[in-house]
Structure 1
């Protein structure tokens, strides 16, 4: 992603939201990397969850590596404070400050539609949704559907509420 693109094409809301969340460096990833090494690391990746941290364990050749939450936050230059996201198939438990009504109003989504699609969103809000579903909280399918978790994340990003991206 190139942030200058959004400035040139007059998408100030998206850029402002990314800046408030300290996500610019994370989403632009301009540093060189070795795609084959990344692919190998991901094929051996194991996630280890504890109450207050996440460990990423992977192997490259005969060597094992582990990164914990604080190391990941340092590498990705992300903030480790704010609301913890809960993305699961179980009942959604929202933080007490989240308001679905307010989120629907903010993004011009009719409140009575249980499963809205990205067709209801402006181009900038579609880009925020795209970043969520492909980069920040990726999923394998239904990228055109705005899940309740997506709506809450979009609302938190747009209102400048902090999010703990690793929990």
Structure 2
């Protein structure tokens, strides 16, 4: 009885060795398990990546913004200015194999084991690894989301403040939020709303309080891996980690971060900010200056001996105020429609993924039944 058992083990080892030899030609060949290969082919091979953007802090300094110094204090300047090539297939396999065990994030790409340790964050991302830095969001149990958000608004009494829409923020806060949702904590949708994590990060940056960036980046990575339809963040950073760890990139398909991906003048104009000289201003500030200048020109200083009641000037101010309120309402409505459309697309994508999974399971069961017969 022992000898047939040895024969079976020998055959099994021979089959596994043959399978390993056949797994070198394709992306799925980087995975050692047949079930992993099938899962990757069905749900990960075409997984979307978040568009890689970057900034040039020197450009913002030259245009009189104050937030660049705060970014430098946090030690994430290099991370936000990253440019270069990234490898979509490597990124997908990196996330597919990403695991969290005993407090350690690790993965495996093309036979290379990768641990996200301090060496990676210091030498690749070049972010500070500080023992006394705070972890988002667990270290902020008493964080007052509403109060902080209202402190960032141009008009703290703004209606619909509980929707946490970024459109009503002051200019620097609005730009800082944009950089968070596209660069520091990128996500595939809902860019127009401030999450609690967004507000915590904004508040701590503005208060010059150091954050634990490596922990935050790892948390965002693992969250994206666990969500079925979420696009994968940090494609350039992940690619540079793979290269740093010795993953073979020869003959790999790559994409490049182009100049058009920079968050600069075009992004500011899309947010509605206007350039005046070397600086940018909020459009309401420009309208206020123009209104004051026109009023000074059209309405000379009245004779103090002529005291009158309600004038046409007051009526003019009320009409302008009403016009600004209507414009603000229209803008908020557009942002809400954008959020609704984005969430509708997310739900549709999730349903399509479920259909694909069900179809894959049906094919798998049908193939098993045919094998039995």
What range describes the TM-score normalised by the shorter chain of this pair? Answer: 0.7 to 0.9
Does 2:70 match 1:17? yes
How many angstroms does 1:136 deviate by?
1.2
Which digits, 9 at most, give the CA deviation of each residue in 1:32-69, with x for residues without a partner? x333xx312211013222454323x2424xx3241323
How many angstroms does 1:94 deviate by?
5.4
Segments of 5+ residues of structure 1 without an aligned counterpart are: 87-92
Q: How does 1:13-162 map to 2 (within 5 A)?
A: 14-30=67-83, 33-35=84-86, 38-45=87-94, 46-55=97-106, 57-60=107-110, 63-74=111-122, 75-81=124-130, 82-86=133-137, 95-96=140-141, 98-100=143-145, 103-108=148-153, 110=156, 113-162=161-210
Segments of 5+ residues of structure 2 without an aligned counterpart are: 1-54, 216-373
How many angstroms does 1:135 deviate by?
1.3
Q: Distance in 1 between matches of 2:100 and 2:136?
A: 14
Does the 8 Å contact 1:21/1:157 carry over to 2? Answer: yes
The TM-score with structure 1 as length reference comes to 0.77
Task: Say if 1:156 and 1:51 are closer, same or farther in 2 by CA, change over 3 A.
Answer: farther
Task: Say if 1:5 and 1:115 are closer, same or farther in 2 by CA, change over 3 A.
Answer: same
Structure of greater Rg: 2
Q: Distance in 2 between matches of 1:73 and 1:97?
A: 29
Q: Identify the structure with bigger relative contact order (alpha carbons < 8 Å, sequence gap 6+).
A: 1
Task: Say if 1:145 and 1:137 are closer, same or farther in 2 by CA, change over 3 A.
Answer: same
Q: Distance in 2 between matches of 1:102 and 1:113?
A: 10
Runs of 4+ in 1 over 6 A off after TM superposition: none
